[in-house]
Chains A and B, each alone.
Chain A
Amino acid sequence: MGTYIARRLLQSILVMLGVTLLSFLTLHLAGDPTYLYVSERASEQEIIDTRQKLGFDRPLPVQYFDFLGRLLQGDLGTSLRARKPALELVMERLPATLELTLFAMFLSTILAIPIGIYSATKRGTPLDGGIMLFAMLGQSIPGFWLGIMLILSVGLGLRWLPISGHIPVIQPALEGDISTAISNVPNALLHLIMPGITVGVFSLSRNARLVRSSMLEVLSQDYIVTARSKGLAERRITFNHAFRNALIPVVTILGLEFGFLLSGVVVAETVFSWPGVGRLVFNAINQRDIPLVQASVVLFSLLFVMLNLIVDLLYAQLDPRIRLN
């Protein structure tokens, strides 16, 4: 196990190096960032001066290795726009994104499992067909369209939910202001529903289909037939015998789901004016704020790589047939 973890950690470092190099090159290949930092009437000399001030006049390898050198010392650079440490900016926004991601994950998991089980137990019925049709739709609907439709119908038409904005819970809690965090919860939940659905609907649909197919596979196993022949109640067979075994592939996906949802919040954060990391990165890319993009990429890839590792380890624990050699 120790060798496996060491090997995976080494692979992770290589993956992260690759990610930083790719993102660095992509940002620089997309034109000279200096033009976004000067007035539209700037002269050639002003552009040259600004390029020098921003450090973009140095050769690309020098810029990249400078970044790596600082990274090894834990310094992810300073945002060109905000004049603030990039890491600090990302960490400031992380709580809002975590709230949205966790809520979306909660929605997609809590609903997907019963829907998938129910659909599997009603296989071939019109209800099963209907559920799977909605699952297909959920995977096909573009997030931005769904978000805007929710705003127009539920937010503006029915006036049931706030149209946009964010009420913080994790941030005040982290700052020790527990009473504010608790009193914000009801309002925060109302603000979370529409963006949460927008982020989570794809995962919800995919997970429901996954649970259904996994359940169907397990339900056709010999030991289930044996259980039925012993006269066990269908409910007990479903939950005590089939569900536990059907959960193994689902747990694998749920672990990766967090990373997937985290990377998919940009659209929802933009549509619902949610001040999270997704929008921060999106704006940083548009403004070619390279240190900020790099810091976000490093943190996100670290998070994703770690999640993958944890899932792999958990998978081995859940299913002893799987060996990590």
Chain B
Amino acid sequence: MSRKSRFSLLFIVLLLVTMPMVIQAQTPDETTLVIAQSVDVGALEPALINSRAESNIFNHLYGTLFEISENGTLDPYLATSYTISEDGTEWTFTLNEGLTCHDGEPLTADDVVYSFQRAADPANAFTGNTAGFVFPSVGYVDARVDGDLEATIITDRAQSEPLRLGLLSEVYIHCQDYYSSITLEEAAENPVGSGPYRFVEWVRDDYVLIEKVPDYTLRTAGFDQIYWRVIPEASTRVAELIAGNVDIIANVPPDQVAAVDNSGSATVQAVSGTRRMYVGFQFGEAFADAPGYEAIQNTDVRVALQHAIDVPTICATLLGTDCERASSMVNPPNNNPELSPYTYDAAEAERLLDEAGYPRGENGVRFEITLMGPRGRYLNDANVVQAIGQYLTDVGVQTTVEILDWSSDYLPRVREKNVGPLFFLGSGGSTWSALYDMADLSAPTAGTNYTNWMNEEWFSLWDSTAGLDPAAEREVVNEMLEVFYNDPPWLLLYFQPDFYGVSNRIEWQARRDEQIVVYGATLK
């Protein structure tokens, strides 16, 4: 054998020996949990969190005053209790004793106040969820220390109790000494939190590694360390799950559910998410000249169209799962139990359209209309929009479907309320507050009232919800949902299902609210 051949043989033998070792090394050990998400965090800065993928990691690194449970209850966490001032504008939280941040610094009311004030400081120009959404939603004014363990959040308004508590539960608490001693740039890469896991390493676009904080008493952590891997391509995530290299993956494509279930190494958990999917009816006058605009101003037409869409079939065929049709804009169990979802009944839709004064013409068309929808934002969105367009056309509403790119075209148009006369959209919801779900329509001019709906009864009822006790609030909510049902600004569709791939080696239950929380995950 020549020298060259011997070298080649040696190389091949070495490759064959090392390959199985490498493949084996990819499988996580018993103390490690590996989770794969499609996107990385932008920065490890709690005040810059903007996406669910980011908050999934931060929920393990940072504690919050209260915590939203998987069932939608609001449970004490860093705080044990709270009191509300008589006028409802000041909320005072009492903290647990003996709390510390991951660097050992005691966590007191000073740190809570600092966390709020730092996020609100205009000099920091934070654009994350806390400053960009929570604070405006609760009318945040300032925070003050009322004792070693008592911090008061000052707002400019009274508000529904669960709504405000849930919103404040999204603010991550961190310690003042550490964060005030470093620059924003340093903070964005070196988080020191207050949750059951602490930060170890971040390799951008590759993984974030966190490890269990010994003796953390507020939550029980199952695994010693968690890798949050970034795997953007869905097929690759699925392959890694089936190969046993990853324990939990988010967003399994519906067409790959069977492959995972049949793999013998993992299964898919399909949960009905909290995102409300709907077709909006545009009331804005900018569309007054658009075909079909006039027809959908008629309440009877909008009710008729509810019967034209076969939502269960859309779910089964395009989303790969059975789903229940929404009966309101509020997630169960906070919806009005008296309301039943509109049923699919094309004949009934046609009858109601006839009665509303829109009979079929000689060409079989009642009226023409445009339905806009995005591509690449929601589960199988473009195909769902096409299906809806076809169902509407089938009952004589000749529908032209326009599919637009989400980020460059559709999103700006939605934000400018420049979509319609019909448009497909999803809106994030909650499990913990009916009013949170209804806040899309908190005022006629609300940024999220994309339909420009102006029902006076609804908005006057909304204004009456501030500061009500839970029973009275429930009554008003039910009344409002009835108004919404009978004069619908939305064509109600479904709660978007979420698909999680879960390795057979672990015990873990997916939540409805798109959050991946794994304190309780264990090996089987």
Contacts and interface: CB of A to CB of B under 8 A. Distances in A.
Contacts of A83: 43, 45, 48, 184-185, 188
A93 B204 CA distance: 8
Contacts of A50: 127, 132
Contact of A36 (B15, B407, B428): B407
B239 A41 contact: no
Interface in A75-115: 81-84, 89, 92-93
A155 B415 CA distance: 43
Given A54-B127, A160-B19, A41 B440 contact: yes
Contact of B22 (A54, A89, A162, A288): A162
A43 B136 contact: yes
A151 B235 contact: yes
Interface stretch (A16-24, A57-65, A245-253, A275-283): A275-283
Contacts of B230: 273, 275
B245 interface: yes
Nearest to B425: A40
Contacts of A287: 42
Nearest to A155: B239
A271 B233 contact: yes
Interface in B433-454: 439-440, 445-448
A275 B19 contact: no
A190 B26 CA distance: 12
A82 B43 contact: yes
Interface stretch (A27-35, A129-137, A203-211, A225-233): A27-35
A286 B206 CA distance: 18
Question: Size class of B's contact patch?
Answer: 35 or more
B232 A270 contact: yes
A162 B184 CA distance: 37
Interface in B96-143: 125, 127, 129, 132-133, 136-137
B137 A275 contact: no
Nearest to B184: A83
Interface string B338-359: 0000000000000000000000
Contact of B188 (A31, A84, A166, A280): A84
A44 interface: yes
B177 interface: no
B159 to A, nearest CB: 15
B242 interface: yes
Contacts of B23: 159-162
A275 B239 contact: no
A53 interface: yes
Contacts, number: 153
Given A148-B235, A160-B19, A288 B407 contact: yes
A9 interface: no
Interface in A154-204: 155-156, 159-166, 186-187, 190
Interface string B224-252: 00000111110110011011010000000
A266 B454 CA distance: 47
B515 to A, nearest CB: 16
A41 B232 contact: no
Interface string A138-150: 0000001000100
B480 interface: no
A163 B409 CA distance: 35
B255 to A, nearest CB: 13
B129 to A, nearest CB: 6
Contacts of A53: 125, 127
B133 A41 contact: yes
B50 interface: yes
Contact of A273 (B133, B232, B407): B232
B146 interface: no
A42 B408 contact: no
A209 B93 CA distance: 73
A299 interface: no
A47 B137 CA distance: 14
Contact of B205 (A42, A47, A187, A275): A275
Contact of A81 (B42, B129, B229): B42
Interface of B: 14-15, 18-19, 22-23, 25-26, 39-40, 42-43, 45, 48, 50, 125, 127, 129, 132-133, 136-137, 184-185, 188-189, 203-206, 229-233, 235-236, 239-240, 242-243, 245, 407-409, 411-412, 415, 427-428, 439-440, 445-448
What 10 A-B pairs have minimum CB-CB distances, sorted nearest first? A81-B42, A39-B133, A275-B205, A30-B408, A31-B412, A43-B447, A275-B206, A53-B125, A273-B231, A83-B188
26 contacts: A31-B412, A41-B137, A42-B132, A47-B415, A84-B185, A89-B204, A92-B204, A93-B205, A148-B235, A148-B236, A151-B235, A151-B236, A155-B243, A162-B22, A163-B239, A163-B243, A164-B231, A164-B236, A164-B239, A165-B229, A187-B18, A187-B25, A190-B18, A273-B236, A276-B205, A280-B204
